[in-house]
Copies of this chain bind each other. A is one copy, B any other.
Amino acid sequence: MNIIEGGIASPIGFEAAGVEAAVKYENRKDMAIIYSQKPCVVAGTFTSNVVKAAPVKWDMDLVENSPFVQAVIVNTGIANAGTGKEGMDYCIQTAEAASKVLNIPKNAVLVGSTGVIGAQLPMDKITAGIDKLAAAKAHSYESSTDASKAIMTTDTVNKQLAVTVDIAGTTVTIGAMSKGSGMIHPNMCTMLGYVTTDAVIGKDALTKIVKEDVIDTYNMISVDGDTSTNDTLLIMANGMAGNPEIKEGTPEFEAFKEAIHYVNETQAKRLAGDGEGATALVECHVLGAATKADARTLAKSVICSSLTKAAIYGHDANWGRILCALGYSGAKFDPEDMELYYEAAGQKMLIYKNGADAGYSEEEATKILSQKEVKIIADMHMGNEEARAWGCDLTYDYVKINADYRS
């Protein structure tokens, strides 16, 4: 697998664009398109929230029932969630407008929205935006970048990625873009994540890869414990690389799956590290758990703990809060027989063992906790399973951003 400079429009036959449509804010790119010159098979996972945004319902239907898809239209500013029948109509009108200008079937147009809940979409601006997107779309790094910037809300950096992987002698390309960065506690997948590939692969194989991979990638991050109404991860494959079809049970399937995993994990970690107000990416690596489920539960409990997150913001080696979060996770273990470590910038430090403080240097610990990427390692001594989860610190800026998000 090779990492290349690129994004969502890097695979053969994919085009992208990001434009200013003034959906809610002026002077920023706020609509994006992903377009494939050929029809794509599609797989996706969506929020488990009972309250689903209109575009989530629309996309779920298409992923299930549409023979193929060929485009995604995304807007930011307004989430089109909590908008009732009117909102659903606007979502369908969005697909219709794109269908006309792109000359593809309506049910080949996926729709994504992110932003404030409860407001209705300004349809005149949306349709004008779609016309601009159709005119601007291109197969280039710049257009990938524009699209990845257009889907940002409170994100501070755009998040895109492209890799190539050799499939039986054919180079297959995978591109991706995602956005966070508040209401992030995915329980299927995150706010908005898109993956494109020119690989030849069937829908069943693609679906299997996505459903399995989100469990250890997007579903293992949390910014604030709030599972959004709009979580969507879509992967589109247009087959233009011309490789022999990737089938389950082959080395090619494993190689492709590994590449998708790299892309998803990288994007998920970027979302966590760019959580609202965050100054650090926090990874919790749980080792020696009795079961894989326990390992995931323990790791996620730590990165969700407000007190642990605030302590990391303060560069305070307050390991009691980590121990506490492991303790209330629901997984069983013996607090008298386990170890905790901090690790950052290549330095690893034992902080807790045998039920008590391991006698570390506070000064050294604070140095480790002042890094941009901090790892918490918990060795549970209960078995051989492990898991990683990612989050961020809890800062003044998180409160500031969210005390007045709508104004």
Residues of chain A whose beta carbon lies under 8 Å from any beta carbon of chain B: 47-52, 79, 81-87, 116-119, 182-183, 185, 187, 224-229, 304-307, 310-311, 313-314, 316, 318-321, 323-329, 331-333, 335-336, 352, 354-357, 394-396, 398-407
Contact = CB atoms under 8 A, between A and B. Distances in A.
Contacts of A395: 399, 403
Contacts of A398: 306, 310, 399
A226 B321 contact: yes
A10 to B, nearest CB: 34
B306 A226 contact: yes
A45 to B, nearest CB: 15
Nearest to A115: B320
B226 A305 contact: yes
Interface of A is mostly: loop
Given A50-B335, A307-B402, 13 more contacts: A50-B327, A51-B327, A82-B352, A82-B356, A83-B355, A86-B356, A117-B320, A229-B324, A310-B402, A311-B403, A314-B403, A316-B403, A396-B400
B400 A229 contact: no
Contacts of A47: 328
Contact of A314 (B79, B335, B355, B404): B404
Contact of A399 (B329, B399, B405): B399
Contacts of A329: 50
A316 B399 contact: no
Nearest to A352: B82
Contact of A84 (B81, B336, B406): B336
B402 A319 contact: no
Contacts of A405: 311, 314, 316, 318
B51 A326 contact: yes
A46 to B, nearest CB: 13
Contacts of A84: 336, 354-356
Contacts of A394: 399, 402
